[in-house]
């Protein structure tokens, strides 16, 4: 089993979020125990941005057990198509292409995604399994 991880879960852990930090840590450990957890370039960058210096995140990600997984042409194509559809439906620019790259990566390269943004992923990436951490 292979799951992608969204920045919301990793940042909860990095910042020890009072509401989701513990639940995100438990969720990550649970999925690491049953398979691999991959991190795409966008999620990696979003997580690195909360550390000082950001370069520390490479070793932190490794310590967390996260595996780098790059984008492939099919991931990029799916993200572009989904973003175009989103904009055609009148979606505001609040959702940027990066969000669609994260979702397409999970849909094409994993069995699901660990995230607190289930509404977005379920709306645009039908069939994508979204697993959320529990709040305190």
- CATH code of 2-70+110-131, in short, is 3.40.50.1010
Distance CA 129, CA 134 (A): 16
Q: Where are the domains of the chain?
A: 2-70+110-131
**How much is the mean pLDDT over the chain?**
95
Confidence of residue 18 (pLDDT cuts 50, 70, 90): very high
Least confident window among 21-25, 92-96, 123-127: 92-96
User: How far apart are the C-alpha atoms of 105 and 50, rounded to whole Å?
Assistant: 22
Quick one: residue 112, left, alpha or beta (phi over 0 = left, psi -120 to 50 = alpha)? Answer: left
């Amino acid at each position: 089993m292979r799951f992608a991880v969204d920045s919301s879960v990793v940042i909860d852990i990095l910042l020890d979020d009072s509401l989701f930090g513990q639940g995100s840590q438990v969720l990550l450990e649970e999925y690491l125990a049953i398979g691999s957890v991959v991190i795409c370039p966008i999620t990696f960058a979003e997580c690195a941005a909360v550390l000082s210096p950001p370069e520390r995140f490479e070793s932190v990600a490794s310590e967390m057990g996260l595996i780098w997984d790059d984008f492939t042409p099919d991931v990029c194509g799916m993200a572009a198509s989904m973003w175009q559809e989103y904009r055609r439906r009148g979606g505001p620019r609040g959702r940027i292409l990066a969000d669609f790259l994260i979702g397409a990566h999970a849909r094409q390269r994993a069995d699901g995604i660990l995230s607190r943004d289930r509404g977005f992923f379920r709306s645009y990436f039908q069939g994508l399994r979204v697993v959320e951490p529990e709040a305190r």
